[in-house]
Structure 1
Amino acid sequence: MAATPATPSTQSQVHTDLISDLPIIKEATTSRVVVNNDVLRFVLFSFDAGQLLTEHASPKAVIVQLLTGKLEFTVAGETAVLEAGDIVYLAPGDRHALVAIEPSHLALTMVNVDGEGDQ
């Protein structure tokens, strides 16, 4: 698989048809990196029902938005059921996991917060 090219943080871009370009595949989890630079990384995921991401953490701040479907999202041992439109903020280092209850699309934005204070 080829490496994702960097997206210049000084160059605006428009991406369309992202969900239709990342179909839900039976018994699979798939992803596509849309934007990737030293400031942030935006990834679109598709999950078939029953697919999961095991517990893990990111050194970056993370925003998760469920675009379609329904899933269980666990942060620090607390589980919530997310539906389309729901958002989760993850502080750097917070452990989290998920299980798709229904076929779903999820948007993930990771932001580099090194050296930044609370604003």
Structure 2
Amino acid sequence: MQVLDWSKVDFTQGVKITPMKENQSVKEILITLPKEGVLSEHKAPYNIGVQVLSGEIEFGVQGEVLVLKALENIYLDTGVLHHLKGLKDSIVRLSLYKV
């Protein structure tokens, strides 16, 4: 058993991607996304879940721009292009589902 603390972040360092836990079925990643910070359009090699733990982000996917607020999430299939932008200082949990 392992307890993960998702709250220890420093927004002054810009966008930061921190692997938190990985096993054969899932990889959990902490994304620190400061206000105006951007993760340019990209795609993931697995199905993903993106959950905003705190703050607010712009999430662009398939020509649509969504605003995700704290405790909201979205799921995407493998290979779907998307981007993220911090509308507020935000803590984001990225889950990659490898199976």
| Alignment match, 2:81 | 95
- 1:65 matched to 2:51: yes
Q: Which has the higher strand share?
A: 2
Gaps of 5+ in 1: 1-12, 114-119
Q: Which letter does structure 2 place at the counterpart of 1:19?
A: S
Structure 1 residue 38 displacement after superposition:
2.5
Structure 1 residue 24 displacement after superposition:
2.9
C-alpha distance in structure 2 between counterparts of 1:98 and 1:51, whole Å: 8
- 1:85 matched to 2:71: yes
RMSD: 1.3
| Runs of 4+ off more than 4 Å | none
C-alpha distance in structure 2 between counterparts of 1:108 and 1:46, whole Å: 11
C-alpha distance in structure 1 between counterparts of 2:65 and 2:10, whole Å: 24
Gaps of 5+ in 2: none
C-alpha distance in structure 2 between counterparts of 1:98 and 1:55, whole Å: 8
What secondary structure, in the 3-state scheme, does the structure 2 residue paired with 1:26 have? helix
Alpha-carbon contact 2:56-2:87 (below 8 Å) kept? yes
**TM-score, length basis structure 2:** 0.91
Structure 1 residue 15 displacement after superposition:
1.8
Q: Structure 1, residues 43-68: CA drift from partner, whole Å, max 9, x if none? A: 01111101010001112000000000
Query: Greater Rg, structure 1 or structure 2?
Result: 1
- 1:18 matched to 2:12: no
Alpha-carbon contact 1:25-1:48 (below 8 Å) kept? yes
Alpha-carbon contact 2:55-2:91 (below 8 Å) kept? yes
Higher relative contact order (CA 8 A, sep 6+): 2
